[in-house]
């Protein structure tokens, strides 16, 4: 597995083989009822955790990243990590989704959240635009890099 510059003291890809991390990820999988989770890194390194149905055993395999499916007419807003997709903040369930179809979003706006255990990660619109097709199901499991929604360019 690829390792980054040690001298910066930054965390490296190698940390993904940390047993504590893997067991935590496996715990989330179990809790969410899914059976696989894949973390892929831009440089081609990656980690796949497969949880056998009904069992606690975890198998780890290095994987080759698949090419992301970007549609030519728009751009995809992608999940920053695998987890549960939330289309609104869990403390504001009575409100509407943050990114309803047809809604204009500024660059940097939060279009939803990925819930990983108690942690919420923002799903961020990298460019301004109009919310087009929404791919992720609210409160459904989503993988790293999966398209949450497609943004159409602003007119």
Partner 1 sequence: MIEIVATGPLNTVQDLGRPGYRNIGVTASGAMDPLALRIGNVLLGNAPGAAGIEVQTFPFQVRFSEGGAFAITGADCRATLDGVPLPPWWTAGAAPGQMLELFPPLKDARAYLCLAGGVAVAPVMGSRSTSLRGGFGGLQGRVLATGDHVATDRAADGFLPKGGFGVVPPAVALKDAFPVAEGGALLIRALPAGEHDLFGADAQRFWSQLWKISARSDRTGYRLSGDPIHPTEVMEMRSHGVVPGVIQVPPAGEPIVQMSDANTAGGYPKIAGVIEADLWRLGQARIGSLLRFVPATHAEARAAEQALAAYIADVHKTARLVRQALAGMA
Q: Hunting for tokens 């831009």 — which residue is that? A: 42
Q: Is 6 in the site for partner 1 (CB under 8 A)?
A: no
* Cβ closest to partner 1, residue 88 vs residue 135: 88
Q: Which is nearer to partner 1, 24 or 154 (CB)?
A: 24
Supply the minimum distance, in Å, between the C-beta of residue 72 and partner 1. Answer: 26
Strands (DSSP E) along the chain, which ranges? 36-40, 46-51, 58-61, 75-78, 83-86, 104-105, 110-116, 119-124, 129-134, 141-142, 147-152
Give the Cα separation of 62 and 73 in Å (integer). 33
**Separation between Cα atoms, residue 52 and residue 34, nearest integer Å:** 10
Q: Total number of residues binding partner 1 (CB under 8 A)?
A: 38
Considering only residues 10 through 69, tell me which ones interact with partner 1, judged by CB under 8 A.
Answer: 10-16, 18, 20-21, 24-25, 39, 41-42
Structure tokens, 111:
């279009």
- For partner 1, the binding residues (CB under 8 A) are 4, 9-16, 18, 20-21, 24-25, 39, 41-42, 80-81, 89-92, 106, 108-110, 113, 115-122, 124, 144
């Amino acid at each position: 597995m690829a390792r980054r510059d040690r001298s910066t003291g930054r965390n490296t890809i190698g940390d993904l083989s940390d047993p504590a991390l893997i067991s935590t990820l496996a715990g989330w999988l179990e809790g969410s009822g899914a059976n696989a989770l894949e973390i892929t890194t831009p440089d081609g390194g990656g980690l796949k955790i497969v949880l056998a149905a009904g069992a606690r055993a975890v198998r780890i395999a290095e994987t080759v990243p698949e090419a992301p499916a970007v549609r030519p007419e728009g751009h995809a807003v992608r999940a920053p990590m695998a987890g549960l997709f939330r289309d609104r903040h869990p403390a504001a369930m009575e409100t509407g989704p943050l990114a309803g179809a047809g809604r204009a979003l500024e660059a940097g706006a939060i279009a939803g959240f990925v819930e990983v255990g108690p942690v919420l990660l923002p799903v961020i619109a990298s460019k301004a635009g109009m919310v087009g097709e929404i791919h992720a199901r609210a409160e459904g499991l989503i993988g790293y890099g999966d398209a949450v929604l497609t943004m159409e360019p602003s007119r």
